[in-house]
Amino acid sequence: MTFARSKSKEGPDRLRRRLLVAGAAAALCPAHALAGHREDLQQDWDVIVIGTGMAGLTAAVSAREAGAVRVLLLEKGPLVGGHTLYAAGSVAVLSPRRQAPIGFTDSVELWIQDAIKAGGTVLRPHITRIATESEAAVDWLEGLGLVMTRTAYQAVGDMHPRSVTALGLAAGRRFVIALHENARMLGVTTALNTRAVRLGRAEEDGLVRVVVKRTLPGGEVRDEVLRAGGIVIATGGFTADVGRRLLYDDRLTVDVPTTANPQGLYFDGATGDGLDLGAMVGGHTVGMSNIILLPYAGGRLLDYVGGDIYVNSSGERFMNEAMPIYDISEAILAQPGRTCWVITDSRSRKGGTLGLKLADGTVRRSNTIEEMARAMDVPVNPLRRTISEYNEDAAKGLDRRFGKRIFTQAIDSPPYYWGREAVYVHMTLGGLAVSSEARLLDRRGMPIPGFWAAGETTGGIFGRGRPGGMSLITCLVQGRDAGRAAAERSLALKPKAKKVEK
C-alpha cells in the first residue's frame, strides 16, 4: 500500500516545466512523494473517488478545489492512470477560438447530430451539458500545466474538426501525469492496491460508506470501512471482463484483445467493478450492448483523419476513412481474415507508438510502392493505382470513390509506413445511469444521495458508437461535475455529522 499526501504552492508555469522532464513512473506511482510509508488509513473523508483514470483524477482535483479538505483516490492496481494512460488523447471541444482559425463553426446541436450519426440513440441533455462545458473543461486542463494544441483537428471517428490534444507524444500519459501531480500538490491522498468491494447508502449521519480490501507491502490483505460525504465511481468500463462482454456480443471471445492490453501481457483493470458497486446502492445499468471496437495496435499510426488509407488484400481501398468508428470497425470485420493494411508516409504526424511498432515489426517502412506491395503480398498494380487515385483526389479535396472530404496530405513522400491492422475491444458505452450532471440514478430516475459516477463507468449517453474525441471530454466534464458536487455535499453535512457524533 502506498500513500501520498503533501501540499505545495508550486504554480502552473513551474509545474509545466517539471512535467516536461518528470519520469512517467515517478508521476504514476506516488511513492516518490512520500517522506515515509504508513499502513494506517483514516476512516473519515470528505470525498472518496474510486478509480484514477481521466474521470477519477479530474473528480479528485475538482473536489479539492471546491473546498473538500480530505480527498481520497482509490486505485485497485499498482499505478494510477487507468485506460487514459494508453489513450491517443483527442479531446473534443466546442470552442470558437480553437475552431475559427480553420474556418469551422460548431454548435451544441451539431454535436448531438454527429453523436446520432455515430451511435443512433443519444441522451440530448447529457451531450448538451458536455458540449456546453467542454471549453471551460479544456481551459481548466491547460491551467493545470498542460500545453495543448491551439487549433482543432478532426479526430478519427468524428465528423468534424473539434478535437485538441496535449502537445508531444503519449498525450494520454501526459494528462494522467498533470492531473495526478496537481492532485498530489493539493494534498489529495492516493491509495494504490486498494480495491473497493462494497458500497453502503447514507445513514443517519448522512455519510456514505465503502468497504475496501488493501494489499499491504508484505502481501497482507486488510478489510476496512471508510466514510465520506460523497463518493464518485470512476472505475472505467468492462472491456477486460470477457465473460461480461460475451453477454452482449458473442464475437468478443477471449482471443479478441483490448486496446489497453493488445498483447495480453499487462494489467488491465477495466473489469466492470463500478457497475457492481453502483448496483449495491440501487444504481442500474443502461446501453450495455454498446461496445466499441477499434483498429489500434497494428498499422494505424494516426489519431486524425486525412493522412492515411486502409486497403484490403487486393490492394484497394474499401471504405471512407473519415467514417464513425463503429462503421470503420464493421468494414474491417467484413474483410477476409478480418484484417486490412494501413498506409501513410513520412509527412504524417504519427503517434507515440511508432518506435515500438517499428521495433517489433508491426509497422514497416518501404521506399517504393513496389517494395511495399511485395512485402504485403498484395498485387502491385492495384496498389499503385489506389495510391495514385487517392493522391489525385487529395489534390482536389474530394474522394471520388467513397466521398471523403477531409485530406491533410497526399501519400506521396517515401518512405511509406504500413502495417496490418485488425479491430480490438476499445471501450464500453454501457454503464451506470446518471443525470446530466453525473448524479447516480436509481431505476425511477431519482438521484441516490451521496453518489456520483463519471467517465466510462456511465452509460446510455451515446448509442452503439460515439464521435472521436468525445470520450475524454465526457470524462473531464463529468469528473468536474461529480467532484465539485461531492465536495459541496460533504461541506454541507459537516454540522450535521458533528451533531450526530455528540
How far does Cα 358 stand from its chain's mean position?
25
Q: Which long-range contacts (CB under 8 A, 24 or more apart) does 266-270 make?
A: 267/77, 267/78, 268/239, 268/240, 269/76, 269/77, 269/82, 269/235, 269/236, 269/240, 270/82, 270/83, 270/235, 270/236, 270/237, 270/238, 270/239, 270/240, 270/241, 270/428, 270/456
- Give this prediction's pTM: 0.86
d(CA 73, CA 82) in angstroms, rounded, equals: 13
The answer to whether 138 touches 307, Cβ cutoff 8 Å, is no
What is the per-residue pLDDT for 438?
99
Q: How much is the mean pLDDT over the chain?
A: 91
d(CA 361, CA 374) in angstroms, rounded, equals: 16
Strand pairing report for 416-421 and 364-366: antiparallel
**Integer CA distances (angstroms), 239 to 175, 244, 253, 333, 357, in order:** 21, 8, 11, 18, 23
What is the per-residue pLDDT for 29?
59
First to last CA, the chain: 33
> Which amino acid would we find at residue 337?
G
What is the per-residue pLDDT for 414?
98
Q: Would you write out the chain's pLDDT as a tens digit for each of its 502 residues?
A: 333 333 334 444 444 444 443 444 445 655 433 323 456 789 999 999 999 999 999 999 999 999 999 999 999 999 999 999 989 899 999 999 999 999 999 999 999 999 999 999 999 999 999 999 999 999 999 999 999 999 999 998 999 999 999 998 789 999 999 999 999 999 999 999 999 999 999 989 999 999 999 999 888 999 999 999 999 999 999 999 999 999 999 989 998 899 888 888 888 999 999 999 999 999 999 999 999 998 877 899 998 889 999 999 999 999 999 988 889 999 999 999 999 999 999 999 998 789 989 999 999 999 999 999 999 999 999 999 999 999 999 999 999 999 998 899 999 999 999 999 999 999 999 999 999 999 999 999 999 999 999 999 999 999 999 999 999 999 999 999 999 999 999 999 987 555 444 3
Which residues, in sequence order, are CB contacts of 92 under 8 Å at separation 6+? Answer: 111, 134, 155, 158, 162, 163, 467, 468, 469, 470, 472, 473
The answer to whether 135 touches 95, Cβ cutoff 8 Å, is yes
The three grid cell numbers given for residue 23, joined into one nine-digit string: 519520469
Strand segments (E) across 363-489: 364-366, 416-421, 423-428, 431-432, 439-441, 447-453
Grid cell 454501457 in the structure block, residue: 430
What is the per-residue pLDDT for 28?
62
Strand pairing report for 208-215 and 291-295: unpaired
Domains of the chain: 41-290+426-501 (3.50.50.60), 298-421 (3.90.700.10)
Q: How many other C-beta atoms can be found within 10 angstroms of the C-beta atom of residue 104?
A: 16
d(CA 64, CA 438) in angstroms, rounded, equals: 17
Strand segments (E) across 62-113: 71-74, 91-92
